[in-house]
Structure 1
Amino acid sequence: MATYTVSNIYIYPIKSLGGISLQQAQVQERGLQYDRRWMLVDEKGGFLSQRKFAQMALLQVKLQENGLLVSHKQGLLDPLFIPFEHADGKEVTVTIWDDTCTAREVNGEVTMWFSKALGMFARLVYMPENTRRIVDPTYAFDEEVVSFADAYPFLVIGQEALNHLNSKLAKSIPMNRFRPNIVFTGGQPHDEDSWDSFTIGETNFRVAKPCARCVLTTVDQQTAVKGEEPLRTLATYRTKNNKVLFGQNLVHEGTGKIKVGDEVQVLQWK
């Protein structure tokens, strides 16, 4: 039996901006602490994404003791500090795909910074504790809630899956193209496809559905330049029902801490 070990943990505090690698993270009701609790929206409250605006990849987020520090990877603007205790702007209605929920604008000055950085109107909003966004009932197990993530609190990918993909590419790509929360080593490529439930530390996870991949994976996270890979190659061997699949979306039970080096204990296989 293969041994699986957590090798990387990532959070993306502001949806669709640069992620943060952590050695340990706190699992909370909506997912990992700080993960996608902030989001950029347009004038109508629709979420902004690298799918359409690749330049968002050039904004990097770092965790500070009391807030987030956002900087431009090309140094075009002075960094912006966003305190955790903030969100004193107006309440707004926001949309993530087919979901609608309430959020609160951080403040007008922050909106001006992001609008200048991206060259378009971009309002930063925060998800208050009293906002409840439910995971798609088709795949939820117990009305789990989620942050501003596309649909699920977690995404897991095995390092072997990326290694296998890179063996087929002319130029290797890093894991940041796929924006996982949990990466593990061990086993064979795509072993996670066969998992039904597993534990890391004190937290139980259940696999909801495979993750369908989009053009965001073709955006170089350092340069914001779009290409054709890895979707073109993935489509040759990871397509099902006209969707390219890579990684597994998860829901979870309970809270706790997960750490790099933790063993992934598979409880049930499909």
Structure 2
Amino acid sequence: MKVSALYVYPIKGLRGIGLESAEIGPQGIRHDRRFMLYEVQATTSALKKIQLDTHPACALFQPQIVSGSQNGDSEIVVRFLGDPPQNGRPEDENGDSMSVPLEPNLSTLDKIEVDLHGSPASAYRMGDSYDVWFSRRFGVQTILVYLGDGRRAVLGNTLLPKAALGQQRGWITPLSSYISGTRQGGEDSTPWIAFSDVAPLLVASESSLQDVRDRLLGGHLVEMYKFRPNIVVDGQSEDAWAEDFWAELRIGAENTLQLTGNCVRCVSLNVDYKTGKPAEGEEGNVLKRLMKDRRVDTGSKWSPVFGRYAFLGGRHSKGITVAVGDGVEVTRRNAERTVWDWPDL
């Protein structure tokens, strides 16, 4: 097999960016999901995550990483592909954009406590200009936050990399240390994640996507980007859905990934990326078709599985570089499928 595609999502929920090569560290592809958008609830001021399943308009925002801008710093340029907001400004008429510093100066930002899937973190508000721009396009009060030096705990046991299982048998203790900020045993002794859902990386197979197209959708084309993977493998020499049992992959000569859990799917698969709304026709039935025979994880029995969550192999603590075209080999398989156990998700 070979790596056939790589994707990074600097702002969680928005469209991804295709890469030819990627630097991968313990928290995944560099710059992946370091930013996130939250809706501020009108009546309670509580924060609600903005993702494709709840806010399909996310599909209308296309980010691009631009290096060496006028001030010498890299930026994320986000272009809005939808209709200009009502009562918009003149610059809205031809597809406006917003620039976000890729690595903001934390000393200028206000801290805010956020939560994603029950794993809290301290983050930073980017400020009013960003909030106003996104709010006008989503149609709800929105804030943009940056994780910065915050970190989220990995919950449960099956989603942790193999090297961490021994120290994580009682995961409540390490979780408490994240919340209190008193991590034991060194800066990165316990795995942590950014604004990825539950693990730093998501691996998907083109063989399985082809089966979805041919068998489940009757030849209807569905693109891989709807499944939002980080690493796509071409699936050559492996049957469709063989990845359900993959435990470890070797990419290139010695780079390894530990695959720790299944990715259970939601209605985000049904979003029309052209309209930013639930799709019509067969394109809007992708989740339903997957549910036909892909509810294979007993820990989340109502959700179909597509893809596997992964962590960087333990000996690669300083990171690796992976490129499209790199060879991929399955070096360890599980005898049975892993079971989903992220608490309350």
State, as a whole percentage, how many aligned pairs show the same letter.
28
Letter in 1 for 2:63: V
> Higher helix share goes to which structure?
2
- Equivalent runs, 1:239-258 vs 2, <5 Å: 239-240=295-296, 241-253=301-313, 254=316, 255-258=319-322
1:73 aligns with 2:70: no
Q: CA deviation at 1:75?
A: 5.8
Farther off after superposition, 45-54 or 8-17: 45-54
**Which of 98, 102, 106 does residue 84 from structure 1 map onto?**
102
Q: CA deviation at 1:133?
A: 1.4
- Equivalent runs, 1:26-65 vs 2, <5 Å: 26-43=23-40, 44-65=46-67
1:230 aligns with 2:248: no
Within 1, Cα distance between the matches of 2:327 and 2:9?
Answer: 23
> Higher strand share goes to which structure?
1
Structure 2: gaps (5+ residues): 41-45, 68-73, 85-91, 165-189, 335-345
Give TM-score scaled by structure 2 length.
Answer: 0.74
Farther off after superposition, 194-203 or 18-27: 194-203
- Cα deviation, 1:31-79, whole Å, max 9, x if unaligned, reads 1001100000123333211111111111111111011000111363321
Within 2, Cα distance between the matches of 1:260 and 1:120?
Answer: 38
1:200 aligns with 2:247: no
Within 2, Cα distance between the matches of 1:46 and 1:75?
Answer: 24
3-state secondary structure, aligned to 2:277: coil
Q: 1:89 to 1:108 in 2, by over 3 A?
A: farther
The aligned residue for residue 6 of structure 1 is 3
Q: CA deviation at 1:223?
A: 2.0
The aligned residue for residue 145 of structure 1 is 192
Structure 1: gaps (5+ residues): none
The aligned residue for residue 135 of structure 1 is 154
Q: CA deviation at 1:137?
A: 3.6
The aligned residue for residue 112 of structure 1 is 132
Counterpart contact for 1:46–1:94, Cα < 8 Å:
no
- Cα deviation, 1:73-92, whole Å, max 9, x if unaligned, reads 13633211111232533100
Farther off after superposition, 199-208 or 105-114: 199-208
1:158 aligns with 2:205: yes
Within 2, Cα distance between the matches of 1:113 and 1:132?
Answer: 26
Counterpart contact for 2:119–2:155, Cα < 8 Å:
no
Within 1, Cα distance between the matches of 2:19 and 2:116?
Answer: 26
Counterpart contact for 2:121–2:150, Cα < 8 Å:
yes
Counterpart contact for 2:63–2:78, Cα < 8 Å:
yes
The aligned residue for residue 242 of structure 2 is 191
Within 2, Cα distance between the matches of 1:85 and 1:209?
Answer: 30
Q: 1:243 to 1:85 in 2, by over 3 A?
A: closer
Counterpart contact for 1:50–1:57, Cα < 8 Å:
yes
Counterpart contact for 1:15–1:39, Cα < 8 Å:
yes
Q: 1:61 to 1:75 in 2, by over 3 A?
A: farther
The aligned residue for residue 14 of structure 2 is 17
- Cα deviation, 1:104-124, whole Å, max 9, x if unaligned, reads 011211111111111111111
Within 1, Cα distance between the matches of 2:224 and 2:302?
Answer: 23
Letter in 1 for 2:144: L
Q: CA deviation at 1:156?
A: 0.7
Counterpart contact for 2:28–2:200, Cα < 8 Å:
yes
Q: 1:219 to 1:68 in 2, by over 3 A?
A: same
- Cα deviation, 1:194-221, whole Å, max 9, x if unaligned, reads 2111122453211111110000111122
Letter in 1 for 2:97: P
Give TM-score scaled by structure 1 length.
Answer: 0.94
3-state secondary structure, aligned to 1:230: helix
Higher CA-based Rg: 2
Counterpart contact for 2:25–2:312, Cα < 8 Å:
no
